[in-house]
Structure 1
Amino acid sequence: MMLSPAGKLFRFQVLGLCITLALGSSSTRVYAEDGIQFNTDILDVNDRKNIDLSQFSRSGYIMPGSYSMVVHINKNELPEQKISFYPPDNDPDGSRACITKALVEQLGLKQEMMRSLSWWHQGECLDESSLKGMESRGDLATAAIYLSVPQAYMEYSSEDWDPPSRWDEGIPGLLFDYNLNAQSRHQQKEGTREYSVSGNGTAGANLGAWRLRADWQGQLNHQTGVGQPTDKKLDWSRYYAYRAIPALRSRLTLGEDYLDSGIFESFRFSGASLVSDDNMLPPNLRGYAPEVVGVAKTNAKVTISQQGRVIYETQVAAGPFRIQDINDAISGELDVRVEEQDGSIQAFKMNTASIPYLTRPGSWRFKLAAGKPSDWQHHSRGPLFGTGEFSWGISNGWSLYGGALAGGDYNALSLGVGRDLMMFGALSFDATQSRARLPQQEKTLSGGSYRVSYSKTFDELDSQVTFAGYRFSEEDYMSMSEYLDARYYGNRVGNNKEMYTITFNKQFRDWGLSTYLNYNHQTYWDRPANDRYSLTASRYFDIGDFKNLSLSLSAYRNRYNETNDDGMYLSLSMPWGNGATLSYNTTVNRNDNTHRVGYYNRVDEHNNYQVSAGSARSGANLNGYYNHEGDVARLSANASYQAGRYSAVGLSAQGGMTVTQEGGALHRSTVMGGTRLLLDTNGVAGVPVRGYGSTVSTNRFGKAVVADVNSYYRNKASIDLNKLGDNAEATRSVVQATLTEGAIGYRKFDVIAGEKAMAIVKLADGSTPPFGATVLNARKQETGIVNDGGSVYLSGINAGETMTVHWNGAAQCQIQLPSSLPTDMLMRTLLLPCRPLAPAE
């Protein structure tokens, strides 16, 4: 008589219960070397001799061999790797995990603990008893080995940061990242149309610890009705290679680069540099990244560049914008260009701020570089040079820093001191002296530059001076870039005199008010001063039944080449339904005043849009902006219309392609050529995975790339189980990775997908596999355990799939699923013949 599916499932549950009771029984105390004897009389099976419970006979027993396992060290996770299990010397029938020397180096043990270790299995495997309190446990169910090590033996780590021994260089691969922007504008009065396409990005390859990169940028401009040809240009702006040097907490770069310095102004050169990398330090010891703020009068394209190199380009909606994800290695003066859809352009310069140069007591930080200055055509110009700078933590509070730059007819020397003022903030002062001899002048120009920097967080006042600085340069002081321009082009660009800058924010919690101020003032010896003011104030409040209303004010002044560009933006918004906002805003600038009513809606984590309509002195206007976080790219579209003047549309796409020996995918991108994580779901397509941003679905090959990961941080990626399909199961849904800069990390989820079925497995002679035999698919994933009479509950199966049945520690036969699976397999039992494996298999 055939059992119903419910009866078969009941027997399967009884088996698990019996095994659990046997393993947990107080009357059967089990040591690692002791075997458990099962009383098969309690099992309701017809053939008690045909039972294979060998895999359950020892608590935690894993058959000797090699297994791919994820390594868990305390609460942290290391990449999947091969773990071998060997019989201990004193227990030939036992099994013990082999923790190799290569794995021990990844654990993050202190050096004094490393010297006290002992080994077994001919010196290949760690003897855990040499670390008092260390424990290890393998688990085939989760394909993981769990290591517990007393924290006192470990190097310093924090919640999101690991010591260098756990940093992952990633896997070899190729990448190509892009950021494309297209705009079209119709000027109604002139009857002309303008088209423009611009882009920038990075192509590269990873080989071990090395990152090979080539940056590109290009543009195409065309205007009808003016008889001008199409202007187009594509440049490979920079070729370089870099790698991390963990022992020195530094980064080595070869090729074309821009001088990374906290003392001297940046310039382009070809050569080599070795620079202490703050990103390798714990988060609380890292530095400050620059940011750019402004107000767009219409939908606009914002381009941030330095010495002609595009650093960042994006399209923003009308209103205030704040760009904070600029690489913190960028230093010096930045050019900001805001191209409005009405044809107007805002342009201003800003200086990147750096917090005072402080170093922990007894520690060193350094920046070294050597080579020849170069231009955009990859030609060297100027003398060979060498530069070095350092910071030394003298004591608890004092730091000494300085540097030198030597290059033929140009030389500079700097010395400074930093002081941690504790409750009063941090302060630094430095002086730099330059000497330059120009071929067209007989005399040597010599001058000094003096700088004071200050940073302070006033916790008791909810205030923070992110950076405040003053710099004065004498007329004959020259930076290296000024010297090169004067020597080779006959003109001196820059000739700075005084520079003031401050970035300040303040919270008024009782009022629900926050303020942000940014001020830059730059004077020159030979031309008018430039100024940049930016003030933002915002407040959240309630009025009656209306909750979480927001009032925001942004005002700015750009004074550039004796021309003022003043503007003000005032906005009032209120929530409207789930994820939506209604708003009113007004924009005032030197050319026009605009009033708009807008609606913003966050449809889901992947899509949002906003529309607005308004009026101005120049006519009525309409604006729209749509953003989509896609699986293969980040896309946005915008459109503007002003009656009688212009209509414009814009499109942007930001994404990339990553290809490795483990597979590849198209994906969204953030930092061009930056760190990324390739996720593998065992060939299962459509699995929703995420890093820190919105989810991404794996492609048809079961691969996805998340680029929203940070270098030298302990990143986590996970499967969104709430969105996982009903036909898929994930036994491992969270992975971790601490990646070096530019790495292509690789992590694998344990996902099984397919149908569920009840089946009976029959051998060639008509008998059935033993009770407890396991069924594995081609990816070595367990899909079922054989019950009495060969019955088995299978999960994650697919039509036409071949699976193997294992007992006595080896594969014994294979089953072939039908090419077409019935729809009611849980109610109708499949009969699956199990054919013996060929000798070669």
Structure 2
Amino acid sequence: MIRSSHQRKPVRLALSTITLAVLAQMAHAQERAGSVFNEEFLDVGGEQGRADLSLFAFGNRVMPGNYLVDVSLNESSIGQSQINFVDKGDEKNAQPCLTRAMLDGWGVKVEVFPVLMAAGDQCVDLAQAIPGASVSYDGEKLHLFVSIPQAAMKRQARGAISAEKWDKGVNAGMLDYQLSAARMDGGSNSSRDIQFSGNSNTSSQARNTLYAGLRGGVNLGDWRLRNFSSYNRGADGRGRWQSVTSNLQRDIASLSGQLVIGDSTTPGNLFDAVQFRGVQLSSDDGMLPDSQQGYAPTIRGVAQGNARVTVRQNGYVVYSTYVAPGPFVLDDLYPTSSSGDLEVTITEADGRETKFKQAFSAVPTLLREGSWRYSATAGQYRDGFSNSRSSSNAAKPRFVQGTIARGMGKEFSLYAGTILSDPYQSVLLGVGKNLRDFGAISADLSHANTKTPDRPDVGGQSLRFLYAKVFQDYGTNVRMAGYRYSTGGFRTLQEAARMQDLQFGQVLNNRRNQLQVDISQQLGSHGGAVYASAQQQSYWGIAKKDRLIQVGYSNFYKQLSYSVFYNQSSSLYGPTNRQLMLTLSIPLGDSRSYTRYTVAKGSNGQVNQQASVYGSALEDSRLTYNVTAAHSNQQNNSGSASASYLSKIGRIDFGRTQGSGYGQTTLGMAGGLVVHGGGVTLAQPLGETMALVQAPDAADVGFEVYPGVRTDSRGNAVLANLSPYRSNRLAVRTEDLGDNVEIKNAALEVVPTRGAVVLAKFDTSIGLRLMLNLSDKNGKPLPFGARVENQQGQEMGIVGGEGQTFITGAKDADELKVKWGRGAAEQCRVKYRVPAEKNPPPIRELSAQCQWTAASMQEHEMQEHEK
């Protein structure tokens, strides 16, 4: 019989919740010494009996079974583990089964404890095996606490994660793409200094540009096959495909390194990084603890409108995007090497270009005593300049390169390297020293010989100093300061390769000296912050220099934030560009929108003023936008608008700029797809390492800190840009779950290897939410506190007042077992069937009678007869 009293459901659901709370409080009361809970308090009166509550007489009651729990070792989280709880005859609780392999993975010195070595795969008594050790479990929070004396633990750096926890992922195929296109119309060469190849009338016609970056790959076990290709078509209509890298890669955990076969880049910490095709084995700093990681470059610049920013490295286009007007920061560069100067080109909507070089070289790592860094490369030199010059075999020499670094005593580090090829040989020796309060410094000396056709051999030396320091007491951060001086005959491998194709009378502009400084300073708690970056590079035989100077100051007053930015850049073949910019920004009320005003003055006397409104909208800020109105004393008025939307299958970018006599429309798309055993899953841009989420039948569910990502109709999704060899927390937005979906583990932690597609399974149960009114054959409510189980023995709910029981994940029809004691007469079975309804409520209410089995009925009659 189905009741229609839906109005009482919230009250009865609350009563069931209170029942569980009371039982929990009773358990805690029983645990306290000398404290006894009076069970008469739970008498509800009337005809309803009370269950045997001895099952709940002890806190943290744990039934035998497997549980996914959070593990803390010595008060530090070490992630999640699947723990088997076994019944050891303890009436209070099932106990966690800890094995030797599990403890070894947690960093315990199992080899020094005989009890552990003899245990094999059996459960061990931790307190007996390791004196002073203990284990406890909080069943309410699914948290296992393990305490082990430090003397019994292996020594490892803070933040290190054992290789046994690394997940190589599943076999999968993937494609990551970035597309950006622009249509430019109008414009004038004479007024805007636009230079295009071909007919001069091209500037007054519509011009289209297109960039496509494709990263495809296949994962098979530990191996990763990758290809990065790009297509770039300029405004002159000329397009070119480039295969930047194609390689096969895997990690070598025993050597803390990566093996790469194919196209890649040599490490750039000692020698300048170069592209090659061959084989390389090198240490991977990503496998090291956080405290031993290096740093990556950040590119800053200023755009006058919706501009296209293109980044080239070693002649290849490695990044291209459109940015909104004003200052921009690129800190999400997808690196193709650990170093190598970056050439940045800012192309405005009216065709003007600004170019500068961002030096990118890493300070040689200071190593702990006894540790190593290494690389070994054998292959053929390659670059992306073959379209602008002849490309003979001599210009692509085969070479062997090796580097090694060793951490010595007294905080010294020694490093060395060599490059050997037919036209070029080089050797390098260096030393680094930790100066403690004064930072870290390194110095190295290189010698190189270069052979060229029909030219005398040249040789020379290069001396380099590098320095880095964070002065915490003063708020000063010197990220890197470096100086290099090279004699006239010194060449790098890249310069030596280019010399092979020089024609008669041509001269290679080899470097003479290079200076680089990058400093940031915090000016007290309310004084704001200032940063400065300076780079200069000079060449033999040329008076001009490549130079980049950037200085900025930022602060805020109440809700108003302001900044001043100065940029000066010059190169061998272009004019010096100077720019001074003031920016003011303030939020618009309590919204996620802001207004910004900028005024900038350029070296040619041009003054640009901009007023912008920008911000984010929609749930979890999936939509970002920027609307700008600008005025120039040389180019009159202009306006631009841009928007970016994150969907579950990718990102869409749109922009429009309109000025006096010209216009530009930009459109960008970025996303990815993963092919796996369960089919194909579309996704946002993938990055290098990712997780394939499987939450069966939980469609359209989001995830914390992943805007726009939602599961598809099968419950699959891809979470991108995970940190390799690090613990990554993946959490479901439980508010997105439907009325018929329950999830047992709303958060998971995964530790992927580099390039892996790890499988993250969320345990979901799909079913109805029911409020059952349970009674015996005489119509009396079943005992208060009785346990309701399904046919697999899983607890579904507890009987509350008036026999009401709230259960989730229920089937349309099922048979349940109800137990309120340990005897056969104190349990029964109930069958139910939910009738079909066109518009059913979230919680369905049913009434059902519980039936005794023959054995339980006989025992029940005997008990009644004795009474």
Same fold (TM over 0.5): yes
How far is 1:439 from its partner?
4.5
User: Match of 1:284, SS?
Assistant: helix
Structure 2 equivalent of residue 162 of structure 1: 161
Q: 1:286-685 maps to which residues of 2 (within 5 A)?
A: 286-326=293-333, 329-374=337-382, 382=396, 384-441=398-455, 443-487=456-500, 495-509=510-524, 512-525=527-540, 527=542, 529-542=544-557, 547-578=559-590, 579-590=592-603, 592-603=606-617, 605-616=621-632, 617-643=634-660, 645-661=661-677, 665-669=681-685, 673-685=687-699
Q: 1:763-782 maps to which residues of 2 (within 5 A)?
A: 772-775=786-789
C-alpha distance 111-360 of structure 1, shift in aligned 2 (>3 A): farther
Q: Write out per-residue CA displacement over residues 448-496 of structure 1, whole angstroms, 9 at most, x where no aligned residue.
A: 1111112222334322222111112222222222223333576776522
CA contact (8 A) 1:717 1:735 kept: yes
TM-score normalized by the length of structure 1: 0.83
Rounded to whole Å, the distance in 2 between the matches of 1:729 and 1:56 is 25
CA contact (8 A) 1:70 1:77 kept: no
CA contact (8 A) 2:301 2:329 kept: yes
User: Is 2:719 aligned against 1:706?
Assistant: yes
CA contact (8 A) 1:601 1:609 kept: yes
User: Match of 2:280, SS?
Assistant: strand
Rounded to whole Å, the distance in 2 between the matches of 1:411 and 1:806 is 81
Instruction: Quote the RMSD (CA, aligned, Å).
Output: 4.4
C-alpha distance 827-519 of structure 1, shift in aligned 2 (>3 A): closer
* Aligned amino acid, residue 178 of structure 2: N
Structure 2 equivalent of residue 35 of structure 1: none
Quick check: 719-728 or 630-639, which moved more? 719-728
Q: Write out per-residue CA displacement over residues 525-583 of structure 1, whole angstroms, 9 at most, x where no aligned residue.
A: 355644232323233344xxx74241323322233414223333222333332333333
How far is 1:516 from its partner?
1.9
Rounded to whole Å, the distance in 2 between the matches of 1:514 and 1:93 is 59
C-alpha distance 769-665 of structure 1, shift in aligned 2 (>3 A): farther
Rounded to whole Å, the distance in 1 between the matches of 2:353 and 2:734 is 47
User: Match of 2:206, SS?
Assistant: strand
Rounded to whole Å, the distance in 1 between the matches of 2:664 and 2:276 is 40
Rounded to whole Å, the distance in 2 between the matches of 1:137 and 1:389 is 49
Rounded to whole Å, the distance in 1 between the matches of 2:842 and 2:640 is 55
* Aligned amino acid, residue 600 of structure 2: T
Quick check: 502-511 or 252-261, which moved more? 502-511
CA contact (8 A) 1:250 1:275 kept: yes
User: Match of 1:829, SS?
Assistant: strand
Structure 1 equivalent of residue 218 of structure 2: 205
Q: Write out per-residue CA displacement over residues 758-799 of structure 1, whole angstroms, 9 at most, x where no aligned residue.
A: 235799999999984545599x985434679985322355xx
Q: Write out per-residue CA displacement over residues 714-736 of structure 1, whole angstroms, 9 at most, x where no aligned residue.
A: 33233345676677665543333
From 257, 267, 276, give the equivalent of 2:264: 257
CA contact (8 A) 1:504 1:516 kept: yes
User: Is 2:807 aligned against 1:794?
Assistant: yes
CA contact (8 A) 2:366 2:413 kept: yes
How far is 1:14 from its partner?
4.8
Quick check: 282-291 or 520-529, which moved more? 520-529
C-alpha distance 29-401 of structure 1, shift in aligned 2 (>3 A): same
C-alpha distance 400-18 of structure 1, shift in aligned 2 (>3 A): closer
Rounded to whole Å, the distance in 2 between the matches of 1:830 and 1:551 is 69
TM-score normalized by the length of structure 2: 0.81
CA contact (8 A) 1:195 1:221 kept: yes
Structure 2 equivalent of residue 69 of structure 1: 68
CA contact (8 A) 2:71 2:143 kept: yes
CA contact (8 A) 2:528 2:556 kept: no
Q: Write out per-residue CA displacement over residues 304-352 of structure 1, whole angstroms, 9 at most, x where no aligned residue.
A: 1212322222211122222223367431222222221111122232321
Structure 1: tracts of 5 or more residues without a match: 31-37, 224-229, 837-841
How far is 1:430 from its partner?
0.7
C-alpha distance 17-315 of structure 1, shift in aligned 2 (>3 A): same
CA contact (8 A) 2:113 2:129 kept: no
Rounded to whole Å, the distance in 2 between the matches of 1:831 and 1:308 is 76
C-alpha distance 750-563 of structure 1, shift in aligned 2 (>3 A): same
* Aligned amino acid, residue 664 of structure 2: A
Quick check: 521-530 or 273-282, which moved more? 521-530
How far is 1:257 from its partner?
0.9
Structure 2 equivalent of residue 106 of structure 1: 105
CA contact (8 A) 1:446 1:476 kept: yes
* Aligned amino acid, residue 346 of structure 1: T
Structure 2 equivalent of residue 227 of structure 1: none
CA contact (8 A) 1:211 1:242 kept: yes
* Aligned amino acid, residue 404 of structure 1: T
How far is 1:497 from its partner?
1.8
* Aligned amino acid, residue 631 of structure 1: K
* Aligned amino acid, residue 665 of structure 2: V
Q: Write out per-residue CA displacement over residues 275-297 of structure 1, whole angstroms, 9 at most, x where no aligned residue.
A: 22223333232212112222222
Quick check: 107-116 or 351-360, which moved more? 107-116
C-alpha distance 379-652 of structure 1, shift in aligned 2 (>3 A): farther
Structure 2 equivalent of residue 226 of structure 1: none
User: Match of 1:509, SS?
Assistant: coil
Rounded to whole Å, the distance in 2 between the matches of 1:822 and 1:54 is 42
Percent identical residues: 25
User: Is 2:190 aligned against 1:185?
Assistant: no
Rounded to whole Å, the distance in 1 between the matches of 2:556 and 2:534 is 28
Rounded to whole Å, the distance in 2 between the matches of 1:319 and 1:481 is 35
C-alpha distance 126-18 of structure 1, shift in aligned 2 (>3 A): closer
CA contact (8 A) 2:16 2:800 kept: yes
Quick check: 208-217 or 380-389, which moved more? 380-389
Rounded to whole Å, the distance in 1 between the matches of 2:834 and 2:531 is 66
Structure 2: tracts of 5 or more residues without a match: 189-202, 854-867
C-alpha distance 607-790 of structure 1, shift in aligned 2 (>3 A): same
Q: Write out per-residue CA displacement over residues 420-441 of structure 1, whole angstroms, 9 at most, x where no aligned residue.
A: 2222222211111112333444
CA contact (8 A) 2:308 2:320 kept: yes
* Aligned amino acid, residue 564 of structure 1: T
How far is 1:650 from its partner?
1.2
* Aligned amino acid, residue 312 of structure 2: S
User: Is 2:705 aligned against 1:686?
Assistant: no
* Aligned amino acid, residue 317 of structure 2: V
Q: Write out per-residue CA displacement over residues 104-137 of structure 1, whole angstroms, 9 at most, x where no aligned residue.
A: 34323247657772454x6444442313344456
How far is 1:622 from its partner?
0.7
Quick check: 740-749 or 264-273, which moved more? 740-749
Rounded to whole Å, the distance in 2 between the matches of 1:187 and 1:70 is 64
* Aligned amino acid, residue 372 of structure 1: Q
CA contact (8 A) 2:828 2:851 kept: no
* Aligned amino acid, residue 500 of structure 1: L
